[in-house]
Structure 1
Amino acid sequence: MKVIGFAGWSGSGKTSLIEKVVAVLAGRGLEVSLIKHAHHTFDIDHEGKDSWRHREAGCREVLISSERRWSLIHELRGDAEMSLEALLLQLSPCDLVLVEGFKHAAIPKIEVRRTVVREAPFYLKDPHVVAVATDVKLDTALPQLDINDAQAVADFVVDYAFRMAAVQP
């Protein structure tokens, strides 16, 4: 599986950009999966639902299945957070995995940067940033992608993941 990340500060537009890029890539026939890092306690289950009740009762894993989808909820119960490498092993095979967050991971990534973001850019110190999706011209030799052009970002992702990464040592 090819892996490329999207990293940026909160409010930079990562999720919106990824949503549009996924639609473009899927429209081209690619099987795309996503791993998203959440910094906060999150819940995909809701209080009162059967699966929530089983989890609250102490289940380590709850797998929910229907004719349309299935989902596995795994409670860490005090264990360490899984690494990106371990999470990648949990995915079914696909053409491309997009990673949102995991800004310190040693994977190629596109920094998502809008003018409203005031924090320091990652690309100045992170050698794994291979491009910047932005709404302003930046002083960098890295490829700069129009954050509002999902087609162009998708083109870069495909080119990087399937061509450029294959020729790098």
Structure 2
Amino acid sequence: MIPVILFSGYSNSGKTTVIESVVSELTDRGYDITTVKHHKGDFELGGEEKDSYKHMRAGASRVILSSDTQLVDIVKLESERSLNSIIKGISDADLIVVEGYKSTVYPKIEVYRSELGHKRLGKNRNIVGLVSDESLEEFMPVFNFSEMKKLADFIEDSFLRAKSEEVLSC
């Protein structure tokens, strides 16, 4: 089973920036990372002038964009798919990194900026680590926004090496 780690926090807390840094660091180490980004509402790839948008507007239920270097699959849905359903469809990665879905039960890294004035997400949300702009005393690893290599080390040790050890022991 592919390990999954979520990055959760309030809007503008820095989740995307943290994920970019961690994914870059882990791919530099040779890991194959798949990301899933939760987005509220409709979204477009390229805008109204692009053919994919025109295909969807014309009524296509699915549009697949393919080139020699990328593949994008856009599917119209009657209702939102669960994160579990999305994850079950991923079979070729070392790690799945998810942005959002803070109410799900997967292990999470909370991304917290005190300047936004929000409370922390809470202790019962499967939070295994914290990225914060404050020095906080916690019973979990805490990383400053400048410590992304250390965060990548934590993820590697906690999720990727644990997976490798499981495979070796089989």
TM-score over 0.5 for the pair:
yes
Determine the structure 2 residue equivalent to 1:74. Answer: 75
| Cα separation, partners in 2 of 1:92 and 1:144, compared to 1, 3 Å | same
| Cα separation, partners in 2 of 1:23 and 1:91, compared to 1, 3 Å | same
The alignment's TM-score, normalised by the length of structure 1, stands at 0.89
CA contact (8 A) 2:6 2:108 kept: yes
Secondary structure of the corresponding residue to residue 19 of structure 1: helix
The answer to which of 10-19 and 141-150 deviates more is 141-150
Cα offsets for 1:94-116 (capped at 9, x unmatched): 10010000001100010001221
Cα offsets for 1:34-55 (capped at 9, x unmatched): 0010124321242132221111
Cα offsets for 1:55-90 (capped at 9, x unmatched): 1111110111111111111111xx110000111123
Root-mean-square deviation over aligned CA pairs: 1.8
Q: Name the amino acid aligned to 1:121.
A: R
Q: Does 1:150 align with 2:148?
A: yes
Report % sequence identity.
34
Determine the structure 2 residue equivalent to 1:61. Answer: 62
Secondary structure of the corresponding residue to residue 121 of structure 1: coil
Structure 2: which 5+ residue stretches go unaligned? none
Aligned length: 164
Cα offsets for 1:118-167 (capped at 9, x unmatched): 111113342x1011111212242121112221101101111111356889
Secondary structure of the corresponding residue to residue 115 of structure 2: coil
The structure with the greater share of residues assigned to helix is 2
Tell me how far apart the structure 2 counterparts of residues 125 and 90 of structure 1 sit (CA, whole Å): 28
Determine the structure 2 residue equivalent to 1:115. Answer: 114
Tell me how far apart the structure 2 counterparts of residues 27 and 134 of structure 1 sit (CA, whole Å): 24
CA contact (8 A) 1:111 1:123 kept: no
Determine the structure 2 residue equivalent to 1:160. Answer: 158
User: What does 1:1-169 correspond to in 2, within 5 Å?
Assistant: 1-76=2-77, 79-126=78-125, 128-163=126-161
Tell me how far apart the structure 2 counterparts of residues 117 and 109 of structure 1 sit (CA, whole Å): 20
The alignment's TM-score, normalised by the length of structure 2, stands at 0.89
Structure 1: which 5+ residue stretches go unaligned? none
